[in-house]
Amino acid sequence: MSTEKQNLWPKDIVDTSDLVTPVSILKEQASLLGEQTQNLVEAKVETSSITNGQLMHVFYLVAPALDNYKYRLFTIYHGVELYPLDLVDPEEKIFFDPSDHTVIAQTSRPVKSQEELLERLRHIFSSPQTKKVINALIAQSR
Amino acid sequence: MLTFLFWNLNGNPLEKVIANLVSLHHVDILILAECKIPVRTMLETLNPVGKEAEFHFPFSITEKIFIYTRFSSDFLNAIDEDKRTTIRKLSLPARTEILLVATHLPSKLHRSENSQDSTSQELGRTIREVEGRTGLNKTLLVGDLNQNPFESGIVDARGLHAVATRAVATKNSRKVDGKEYPFFYNPMWRYFGDENDRPSGTYYYGGSEPKTYFWNIYDQVLLRPNLVPLFEQQELRILTGDGKQEFLKKGVPDKAISDHLPILFKLNI
């Protein structure tokens, strides 16, 4: 029997696409808020593991001058496969589900890809509710 | 002794009724859900012209809960909030410091049971995280939980983990799947049934579904075990009037006032 090592791993086992983990995206965005608010309102991401191998990342707005008051803006949940992930949105929306003719309020909708996550974040960050919270914290911090 | 009043107003302009209740029961901390009364109107009603202003509105961004206090705003600081829940540190001079959590969880009209469970689990996790961060574990949770005390979001260890008896709650915590979960004590259980000619819940819904409870106790106060000795058991009440008018009509909550009944309780801190 030959002693030469055989490599059974496929050459493309490492994903060389430019996929960034959701938490990296959140942290990058969090780091950008302080500059825009003269650090009166900052953002922070806290990660914890929950049941079923899922990770939970909570995106907070933080007001250092208010004894580090924290406002929970949204939460995402994902497993090892990253996508689809669940994003629990602050804006409660009412949807009609045609499959069983029910009306449901849904704050959690699956995000299928990195592009979709970026789009959802852009939507949350520019929503009137987010602006209202940030401006209230700035006013209270001054 | 501090007196708390919680009421889901169903969006009605009840400021005068609230002022009656506050005066009648000498309420110190007023907590309102589904409240469309502007803060200014509420403060003007609670602090009539010609009298020294007693009530204050501590800073908060939460949209679903409004809290007014008979003491300075400085003693009830918000430390963690989202749209539905506010977590405050209540630190009155020379009194026991506690965490006050007030919330209005999503309605059954719009959420599946699973979805309600996951919301309760998220709230449970948040409370445990804030307790860990602040080092405070004397926590009082009050609000419209939109689930009965026996439903899984309230009972499940990963949710609020609230149990019906002091004897169980004072075991402090229990381990589930290798993880320790602290108990809440839920004194609302004893309000089910029709003993003593009192309302059998805080919310009535007589639907046509096969499974209908009719009376529900969605409005609840839960306490961590180390607050239980400070809780005045006999002072917990579901209110049916303000001394001037009844909140019940034909034995169920009068929707012209609110579809929920208020709860009143006292804490000896």
Dmax over Cα atoms in chain B, in whole Å?
60
Contacts of B106 in chain A (CB under 8 A): 92, 105, 107
- For A133, residues 6+ apart whose C-beta sits below 8 A from its C-beta are A61, A71, A73, B61
Nearest to B110 among A56, A68, A105 (CB): A105
* pLDDT digit string, tens, across residues B74-91: 999 999 999 899 999 999
Report the pLDDT averaged over residues B52-60: 92
- Residue B111 confidence class, pLDDT cut points 50, 70, 90: low
- Residue B217 confidence class, pLDDT cut points 50, 70, 90: very high
- Residue B121 confidence class, pLDDT cut points 50, 70, 90: confident
User: What domain range is B260 assigned to?
Assistant: 2-267
pLDDT of residue B107: 77
Judge whether residue B160 has pLDDT over 60: yes
Per-residue pLDDT in tens (0 to 9) along chain A, 142 residues: 667 899 999 888 887 677 789 999 999 999 999 999 999 999 999 988 766 677 889 999 999 999 899 999 998 889 888 899 988 875 555 444 444 444 444 556 789 999 999 999 999 999 998 999 999 999 999 8
Beta carbon pairs, A and B, within 8 Å: 54
Tell me the C-alpha to C-alpha distance, in Å, between residue A75 and each of B37, B131, B153.
Answer: 30, 19, 19
pLDDT of residue A108: 63
From B190, B188, B186, select the one nearest B228 (Cα to Cα). Answer: B186
Report the percent of chain B where pLDDT is more than 70: 97
pLDDT of residue A2: 63
Contacts of A92 in chain B (CB under 8 A): 83, 106, 110
How much is the pTM?
A: 0.87
pLDDT of residue A95: 43
H or E stretch at B169? helix B166-169
pLDDT of residue B122: 84
Contacts of B82 in chain A (CB under 8 A): 71-73, 90
Nearest to B80 among A70, A136, A140 (CB): A70
Tell me the nearest-neighbour CA distance from B181 into chain A, angstroms.
13
Q: Based on the structure, what is the number of domains in chain B?
A: 1
Give the best residue of B63, B75, B82 to mutate against chain A (max A CB count within 10 A). B82
Query: For A65, which residue in chain B has the nearest alpha carbon?
Result: B79
CATH number of domain containing B142? 3.60.10.10
Nearest to B59 among A73, A129, A140 (CB): A140
Tell me the C-alpha to C-alpha distance, in Å, between residue B69 and each of A44, B98, B143.
Answer: 30, 15, 16
- Residue B260 confidence class, pLDDT cut points 50, 70, 90: very high
pLDDT of residue B185: 98
